[in-house]
Structure formats: structure tokens, C-alpha cells
Structure 1
Amino acid sequence: MLIVEDEDLVCMTAVLMLENAGFAVVEAASADDTRTILETDPTISALFTDIEMPGSMNGVELASRVAARWPHIRLVVTYGRVRLRNQETPDDGQFLAKPYYPDELLSAFAHA
């Protein structure tokens, strides 16, 4: 699983939640870093991205590009200021509002 989050504390918390649930987690601080990771690590099967982050694109654009190039990757998009409907996330992905709890995070991936 790939987590794209630029806030260190938020990223660390999400990593711990997912690792405690048994997932192997790779981290990226921006959408720009994800392409290299996805091209070199074929084991990535899920992407968890924040909407707002530094770089050339936001999390929704990133999820759209990932869905187009790697359609097998499940998508979950998160944000604390705006709420999206699941229908607004690319490729049947899920939206998860911040702050979230471990069971909500796992449920979002189960439905992605």
C-alpha cells in the first residue's frame, strides 16, 4: 500500500493504523514521488492519498492518473476541509474525511 501524505504526524498515524492491520506500507510526501514508486514496486495494490499536498498535482488528480495507468490499484482519498462523495473519487474509489479512525480507514479500503 502506498500512502501519499505531506504532514509527517498524519502520515505516521496512518502508517501505524495500516501496519497494525497487516499491510505493508510505502510512504510518499507528494504526488510527484508516486510515479517512481509505482513503476518500481509492482506489489502496490492500494493508494491512500490526501487531496492537498505540495507538487504538480493534488490527490484527486493523482488518483485519476493512477486509475488510468494502474487500474488494479484500489483508491482512497482523504481530506479534512472538504468532503467528497465517493462518486467524485476516480475509479470507484472511496473518500474518507479527516480525522478518521482505524476501522473507518480499513472499511474504506474494503469498499474501494
Structure 2
Amino acid sequence: MNGVIEEPKALLEGHWLVLIEDDPLLQSILSGFVEELGGRVSSFETADDALVYMLSAGEKPSLVVTDHLVPGQIKGAELATMVGARWPGLSVIVTTGRDLETIPELPDGMLYLQKPWDLVQMKKAIIQMLKKTSISL
């Protein structure tokens, strides 16, 4: 065991995750992780671009994972509120390195994940959020 994660390759099969992360290394690591678990991922550097894409895609994503502080007009917590209004029940994970008491509260059913996180913590958060919305895993 290499200490990373021992999970079935198809854990996220049939799931579409939207990822907003402006750090290219983190974006690459998380995208690859989701794909290794069988999920489909659409990655963006800004929440603005991600929102435009989601609205034009014609389908609801299974989950949105966004950094709180990303370039552009829309920040992570704002995006969570916007997509929650558009798709009630949509799960959103907002990652942040800030003190949770200094950033906006998220709507019910959404989660802050404190940085630094590792892939084990992210996997647990993804599973927790998908189970909350009754999406089969």
C-alpha cells in the first residue's frame, strides 16, 4: 500500500465534477485523481468561466469543487450560492486556506475543506457530498 488511496477505479463512474482551481499543479493533481476514479472532470481557472460552461452544458454536474480565492469576478462561496440556486441540492466543496470565520457562510449541503488538504481528505469530502445528494456511489 502506497499510502495514497486504495479504491475501485470506477468509484466516480458516471459522475461529472466541475473543478475551479487557479493553481495548475493542484488542478492537474485533482483532475487526474477524479479521472483515475472513473469520473469526468471539467477544469477551469476562474469561477466565471466555469459558471458560463455549466449553464451552457445542458446537464447538472454531480459536484463542484472550487477554490475560494480564484481570479475573476466570482469567488468560490459566491459560485456555491449561485449554482445552489440554479440547481437545488447540488453539492459544492469550497477549498480555502483562510480562517473559516472570515469568509461567507455556505448554503446548506455545501462544505468548506480547509487547506492544506490531501487526496484522502478530498476523497472523503467527495464521497460525503455525493452521498448527501443521494447520488449513488
Decide: shared fold, TM above 0.5: yes
State the TM-score, normalized to the length of structure 2: 0.72
Describe how 1:60-75 pairs up with structure 2 within 5 A. Answer: 60-75=77-92
Native 8 Å contact 1:59 1:77 kept in 2: yes
Report the AA paired with residue 92 of structure 2: L
Alpha-carbon RMSD across the aligned residues, in angstroms, is: 1.6
Partner of 2:55: 39
- Deviating beyond 6 angstroms after TM superposition, the runs of 4 or more aligned structure 1 residues are none
Report the AA paired with residue 70 of structure 1: W
1:100 aligns with 2:110: no
Native 8 Å contact 1:78 1:97 kept in 2: yes
Among residues 74, 77, 82, which one is paired with 1:57 in the alignment? 74
**Structure richer in helix, relative to its length:** 1
Partner of 1:91: 108
Partner of 2:38: 22
Secondary structure at the counterpart of residue 40 of structure 2: coil
Determine the C-alpha separation between the residues in 2 that align with 1:102 and 1:21.
12
Determine the C-alpha separation between the residues in 1 that align with 2:84 and 2:109.
9
Secondary structure at the counterpart of residue 95 of structure 1: strand
Unaligned runs of 5+ in 2: 1-16, 130-137
Native 8 Å contact 2:35 2:41 kept in 1: yes
1:110 aligns with 2:127: yes
Partner of 1:13: 29
Native 8 Å contact 1:94 1:111 kept in 2: no
Count of residues in Structure 1 that have an aligned counterpart in Structure 2: 109
State the TM-score, normalized to the length of structure 1: 0.86
